[in-house]
């Protein structure tokens, strides 16, 4: 299971739509490591002068790795994180999450980061089974 959904939120979801703030809180509490990584790269992007900010540190354990993979693999969770932090997320391997400004989507740097060449160049034996 990806998320621990409180009964009140589940009831609201059964009755209709849940707002982004409630969904973000469910993600934050259910996947704290993933939230921390995305929060950090979004803050680095906002405060820095680079075209994007990314995480190059592998998760400390399998629980953290699983949280990050679940967050990035779910369109709903990833989209919720993107809306909450107002960034476009890109993902390579088992830990490299990057935050881009929304205006970068379709641009050269973003396209290069998400391209097949970058994916191939970002491989290493220790990441084979991550």
pLDDT digits (tens, 9 = 90+) for 14-32: 999 899 999 999 999 999 9
pLDDT for the residue numbered 12? 93
Between residues 8 and 129, the one the model is more confident about:
8
* Residues forming a β-bridge with 28: none
Structure tokens at 112: 């290069």
Over residues 34-56, the pLDDT tens digits come to 999 999 999 999 998 899 999 98
CA dist 3 → 30, 106, 117 (Å): 5, 31, 33
Place of tokens 């009140």: 8
Question: Do the beta carbons of residue 65 and residue 85 sit within 8 Å?
Answer: no
Place of tokens 């050269």: 108
CA dist 85 → 8, 49, 112 (Å): 24, 17, 22
pTM score, two decimals?
A: 0.88
């Amino acid at each position: 299971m990806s998320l621990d959904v409180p009964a009140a939120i589940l009831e609201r979801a059964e009755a209709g739509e849940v707002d982004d703030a409630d969904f973000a809180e469910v993600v934050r509490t259910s996947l704290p490591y993933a939230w921390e990584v995305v929060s950090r790269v979004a803050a680095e992007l906002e405060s820095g002068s680079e075209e994007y900010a990314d995480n190059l540190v592998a998760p400390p354990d399998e629980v953290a790795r699983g949280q990050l993979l679940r967050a990035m693999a779910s369109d709903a969770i990833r989209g919720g994180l993107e809306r909450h932090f107002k960034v476009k997320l890109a993902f390579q391997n088992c830990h490299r999450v990057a935050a881009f400004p929304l205006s970068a989507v379709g641009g050269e740097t973003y396209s290069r980061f998400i391209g097949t060449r970058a994916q191939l160049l970002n491989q290493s034996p220790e990441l084979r089974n991550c």
